[in-house]
Structure 1
Amino acid sequence: MIPNPIFFNDNTIMIGLIVCCLVVLAVVMIPKAMRHRKRVRESKCEETVQEEEQEVQMIVVPNEETVLEQSMIDYKKRFLVNANIPTRNGKQVGIRKKYHSRISKIVKVIGENEVTIFSYIDNVLKHHFETFQDDISELYKKNCDDDYLIPKK
């Protein structure tokens, strides 16, 4: 039996393959395009709602001197206060000479000789642990199974 050349020539097969590929591509891409279009419409609606809900807020920008003054006051209140803890208790810690000299000058000049080096270091460490508590706890948990560093409630 001889095949019909109209149905089975190279051009017909090529056109058939192209049509099949286009159908598959359309089946895959049309739903994606519809989802994208829906998301774009929803985001435009949300932006419109947010723009309507926005209030005009007045922002007071302090001058640099005020910010610097407040920053210095905050620093003194946080770090240059005496700790109500007895020093030493049999514990000694070494400090690099350059840091010891620097801390001594800070305590003498800014703390006006009313704060001890121990108090300054204790306050710096307290602030450090309060600021980085979550990071420290997370890193500790990765390396150890106990709950030593988890804050008690």
Structure 2
Amino acid sequence: MKSITDVQAKCESSLPTLRKGSKGDDVKLLQEILNSYGYSLKVDGDFGPLTEDAVKKFQKSHGLKVDGIVGPKTWNALLPDDPRSYPTLRRGSTGHYVRLLQQSLNEFLTDALVIDGIFGPKTEAAVKKFQKSYGLVVDGIVGPKTWNAIFSMFN
């Protein structure tokens, strides 16, 4: 099995390159993640000057090329590389980890989930389907074992 860092890199490579002018759910995910690092961005899905400035500050503080562009290296620095550090998610959870979960599950599903950061009934059903196919306890709760299986899916 590849290292968890290799798996994370594959997961991150599926995230789009974002820059000033980008719009949409992936920008919202980026803004939520940056806010978890202490930035105070409006999560509006619009990669404007404030988001660009936060990205540049993050890049500088993590020894990355400071260009304001969020590509694989910046995504890698933004997202933890150990699924044990990911929070337990269940119906009612919200935020960037739910978005990451939804995006990851879309690699597995035939009917794609809306990536909205809200762990509702459709996300729960997708988690249960995933858990069943990977021989996990089918409870709809995403804890360390389910996160590990999600990461292993990218091998």
Which protein is bigger by CA-based radius of gyration?
Answer: 1
Greater relative contact order (CA < 8 Å, ≥ 6 in sequence): 2
Shorter-chain TM-score range: under 0.3
Q: TM-score, normalised by structure 1?
A: 0.24
More helix by share: 1
Q: TM-score, normalised by structure 2?
A: 0.24
